[in-house]
Homo-oligomer: A and B are copies of this chain.
Amino acid sequence: MKKFQKEFEVHYYEVDFYQELTPLALLNFLEETAIAHSEAVGYGVTRLKEKGYGWVLSQWQIEMDQYPHYGEKVKIQTWPSHFQRFYGDREFLVLNSQDKVIARASSLWIFLNLEKRRPTRIPQEVSDAYHIFPDKALSFPFPELKMSQTREKKRSKFMIRRSDIDTNDHVNNAKYIEWVLETIPEEVYRTYRISSLEVVYKKESTYGQMIQSVTEEQQRVDQEAHYVHQILERDGEEEVALALAQTRWSKR
């Protein structure tokens, strides 16, 4: 039994001004590989939807050693490492054109009853369709994503665009990262690159909503910078978290 693998070419519209793959495009590649794997074992998005089920992403943990460049071909390897009740853990390795591992990711998915929008037990036939490899791509635990009460925060507001919406009629997971990136100071955005990224998704959001991206700089020393992020919606008087995230950056 081999781990599932998919190849991607890095396009010009997927790179930044250094001609390196953007974090947004990387997330798209990872999710695409997970979807393709499920298609390959016979439980793709459409088949699951017909049965009233779907997977939603709950957590990302990503570590990037190197970013592939424009025109480069990368391979993404993925495997489920654990299924439990309505939870599924899925791992990823990103290999560059020399077959060197340049990134690692772990993700946590929730199996949903689409009609009730509630987690539901993964049916035996679904979990049986996959081969489980118990090894993890990343070994450290998911961090606590906490903001201080006192430090200054940078805030940006966004109106959710149609182009932010995916085939499920809610905001695509990768888009939250787009909003996170908007709040990074220009100097860091230009001269650093993300070395690690963690996200927890808390609540869906939909077309036309106004959301707020809040960022706190935790540390900027020498070659490293560290930020904690919240994506918020206003629900009446209260601010409700749609997602929490953390990014670590290293100088280029």
A-side interface residues toward B, CB under 8 Å?
A: 11-13, 15-17, 19, 24, 28, 31-32, 35, 39, 45-46, 71, 158, 161-163, 166-167, 169, 172, 174, 178, 181-182, 189
Query: What is the chain B residue whose CB lies nearest that of A13?
Result: B28
In angstroms, Cα B161 to Cα A181, docked, is: 10
Can you list 20 contacts pairing A with B, beta carbon distance less than 8 Å?
A11-B28, A11-B32, A12-B32, A12-B45, A13-B28, A13-B31, A13-B32, A13-B166, A13-B172, A13-B174, A15-B167, A16-B167, A17-B169, A19-B167, A24-B163, A162-B181, A162-B189, A163-B178, A163-B181, A163-B182
User: Which chain B positions have C-beta within 8 A of A13?
Assistant: 28, 31-32, 166, 172, 174
If the complex has contacts A39-B71, A71-B39, are A12 and B163 also in contact, measured as CB distance less than 8 A?
A: no
User: Which chain B positions have C-beta within 8 A of A178?
Assistant: 161-163
User: Which chain B positions have C-beta within 8 A of A167?
Assistant: 12, 15-17, 19
Query: What is the chain B residue whose CB lies nearest that of A27?
Result: B13
Most chain B beta-carbon neighbours within 10 Å: one of A31, A162, A167, A174: A162
